[in-house]
Amino acid sequence: MMEFFQTLLNGFLLGLASLPVCATCYILFVPVILVESQTGIRSSFRFLSLFAGGRLIGYVSVGVVAGLVAPAVPFVARGEFIGIAYILLSSLMFLWLIRHASLKTVSCKPSSKNPLLFGFLSGLSLCPPFLAAVVLSLRYGAVLKGVALFLGFFFGAVLPMFVLSLSGLVSRFEIVRRIGQVLSALIAFSLLAQGTALLAQTVPKMTITGGEREKIFKSLVPNADSFSGGLAQKDAPQYYVAYDKERKPIAVLFFTDEVAPEVEGYGGKVPICVACDTQLRIKNLMFLPNGETQELVKEMFEDSFSKQYIGKTPLDDFKAGVDVKGISGATITTDAINRSIKLSLFRISHAYLPFPTDTSLPSVWEFKIERVLVVSIFFVAAVLVYILKAQKLRLLLLGTSVAVLGFYFRAFMITAQNVMDIFVRRSYPQKVEFIVLGVCAVVASFLFGRLYCGSICPFGALSELLWIIFPFKLRVSFKTVLSLRWVKYGVLGALILLAAAGSSFYFAAQLEPFAAVFIGTSFPVLILAISILVLSTLFYRFYCRFLCPVGAVMELLSSMRILRLRIPSSCNNCGTCVKNCPSESLSLKDEKLYYNPALCFNCLSCSVVRGNRGCGQEREKNR
């Protein structure tokens, strides 16, 4: 028994020593408490009690497991278990946010299970205090000691968090709860990104073996007798050297994804093996398998495309339409090829060759002022149209989006590929206009709702215009919409988990309807895109509402929009706006009007956003 209390004391002291670190974690849950605790300190204390109970269950469970497995296996920090816990925790937070953000749309009674699950899942982490407790439990090698250690750790590190219950003093104000929702969403996205990244790290990476590498080198430099291994000094790019029979260096070889790994195309990295002479003039190159849409980039594997790079040096432009020929319909891929080759040549040349001092490394970032202006103008126009409630101008904006962003630029789309890049590969766009696009879309969603989806996205604009043009339309009930909306969350989750599990990003690019319509892709995917557009003529924004994974993200953000539409006090619940609303974001139940901001595309067709004009009561007065 003395050993039990001694272990309990050790855990308590470890928890107290870890309190400064644990306090930084507790701050992350303040936004959740602000939203959940609407009645003051008492509800805050209740929420924290359940949260702490979940933590206690989680800690004791870990202590039991550690005691059971300690005699059999050595301790290994397994990222996949923590990754799964983070993903489950983020999913729970998303569900909780949707429940609280969609005001008065679905009757949902408060449940005590959520705080318990929050506490349980958040207790499983890779933070140093938790890992230290796990290591000690494994070292003790007994179930009882493991439980005692984590009990002490709980009392030392978790109980002081009840000071956060004071946040209930300000949670009664709606603006504070809205801010809490926004911060909670950011935390949930961060947990999802960390979880998927941890899972992705546990998947064995596909690498080129030594034998495969030598075959590639031999095909590029057939007169070479031998090749060196990867040569690189500290903080310098890796390269390989080809030698003749007299051990004289005759060529330098490198892989672009090793020297410039940050450069990516539409479907990820575009690996190229490049062979140069000793002065870094390109002699030959080979494009390796990649995740780009193969039907679009088949020119890449033709000899005529590869030969245009022969003889080029780091001082050449490597610009499509200037000194190299681009790939038709694959602008992003072409840019990635050129930038990866040039950046790789520059890095190797600056490290090992005496080039002129006035030459500088090319920037990974690509900045085109005209493209940034186009994105900015579209967002400013969308905000003005929304503020002015100019429905006809919005239709003009939709047509302009299809023509300019879709068919002319064939870009400016936030796709499922971008979402997986961020959450799984932790990779971000290298073109400034896409950074501006993403930031504006997120900020606009928090402020005005689905402004990007409703007024800027070219595919969404095309879907809505087709629905307007064709006279025959079908509507789905409000309850059906609430049920089908979860399909797109399933699509998003499946894509992220498949990518985290090691599946190729190629499938996401293949199934993107935007690419099929505006850029071109394989025939089966084109048929799929046409089918979606046909359904869009019957059902308002069929893909946007029920299938689009990006729409799932935007819907979640928009459910927490700060500047919400208000149902006027003069509303007589006649139901005119419900009939006019194509997105089913308005519903009439028990002669009372309800509004769901997550489902709204800001189409400006309802009488609520048009100053109550057109409602039954107003029409009676005007007669």
pLDDT of residue 274: 93
| Rounded CA Rg of the chain | 29
Structural tokens at position 120:
């349980």
- 338 and 401 share one domain: no
For Cα atoms 382, 594, 622, give the angle at the middle one, nearest 5 degrees: 75
Structural tokens at position 249:
């260096």
> Which of the residue ranges 81-85, 249-253, 342-346, 565-569 would you say has the lowest mean pLDDT?
81-85
Domain-located, residue 613: no
**Chain segment 400-409, per-residue pLDDT in tens:** 998 888 888 7
Element (H, E) at 249: strand 249-255
Residue 334 vs residue 82, higher pLDDT: 334
Residue 420 vs residue 477, higher pLDDT: 477
For Cα atoms 469, 554, 262, give the angle at the middle one, nearest 5 degrees: 115
> Which of the residue ranges 109-118, 195-204, 480-489, 524-533 would you say has the lowest mean pLDDT?
109-118
Task: Looking at mean pLDDT, say which of 46-60, 254-268, 531-545, 609-623 comes out highest.
Answer: 531-545
- 145 and 280 share one domain: no
- 188 and 214 share one domain: no
- 188 and 291 share one domain: no
Domain-located, residue 126: yes
Residue 591's region, left for phi above 0, alpha for psi from -120 to 50, else beta, is left
Q: Which amino acid is at 585?
A: S
Average per-residue pLDDT for the chain? 73
pLDDT of residue 355: 45
pLDDT band (50, 70, 90) for residue 382:
very high
Residue 362 vs residue 80, higher pLDDT: 80
Among 289, 323, 352, identify where a domain stops. 352
**Chain segment 432-466, per-residue pLDDT in tens:** 777 888 888 888 888 888 899 999 998 899 999 99
Q: How many domains does the chain have?
A: 3
pLDDT of residue 236: 63
> Which of the residue ranges 49-63, 97-111, 230-244, 445-459 would you say has the lowest mean pLDDT?
97-111
Backbone angles phi, psi at 314, to 5 degrees: -60, -15
- 318 and 381 share one domain: no
- 268 and 192 share one domain: no
- 538 and 427 share one domain: yes
Residue 616 vs residue 90, higher pLDDT: 90
Domain-located, residue 617: no
pLDDT of residue 112: 45
Domain-located, residue 598: no
- 159 and 12 share one domain: yes
Domain-located, residue 586: no
Q: Which residues contact 225 (CB under 8 A, 6 or more apart)?
A: 243, 244, 245
- 63 and 12 share one domain: yes
Among 202, 228, 244, identify where a domain stops. 202
- 173 and 258 share one domain: no
Domain-located, residue 610: no
Other residues' Cβ atoms within 10 Å of the Cβ of residue 491: 19
Helix spans in 277-368 (H)? 303-307, 331-352
Domain-located, residue 612: no
Residue 610 vs residue 319, higher pLDDT: 319
Among 135, 168, 202, identify where a domain stops. 202
> Which of the residue ranges 102-106, 114-118, 122-126, 270-274 would you say has the lowest mean pLDDT?
102-106
Cα–Cα dist 598/481, whole Å: 12
Residue 147 domain boundaries:
2-202
> Which of the residue ranges 251-260, 368-377, 505-514 would you say has the lowest mean pLDDT?
505-514
In the predicted structure, residue 241 carries a pLDDT above the cut 70: yes
- 225 and 323 share one domain: yes
Cα–Cα dist 275/261, whole Å: 18
**Chain segment 335-358, per-residue pLDDT in tens:** 888 888 988 888 888 766 654 444
Structural tokens at position 591:
């002669």
pLDDT of residue 381: 93
Average pLDDT over residues 529-558: 87
**Chain segment 19-43, per-residue pLDDT in tens:** 555 555 555 555 555 555 555 566 6
Structural tokens at position 621:
């007065």
Domain-located, residue 363: no
In the predicted structure, residue 65 carries a pLDDT above the cut 70: yes
Q: Which amino acid is at 310?
A: I
Q: Give helix 369-388 / helix 432-448 axis angle, nearest 10°.
A: 10
- 83 and 162 share one domain: yes
pLDDT band (50, 70, 90) for residue 622:
very low
pLDDT band (50, 70, 90) for residue 490:
confident
pLDDT band (50, 70, 90) for residue 267:
low
Residue 254 vs residue 16, higher pLDDT: 254
pLDDT of residue 540: 92
In the predicted structure, residue 275 carries a pLDDT above the cut 90: yes
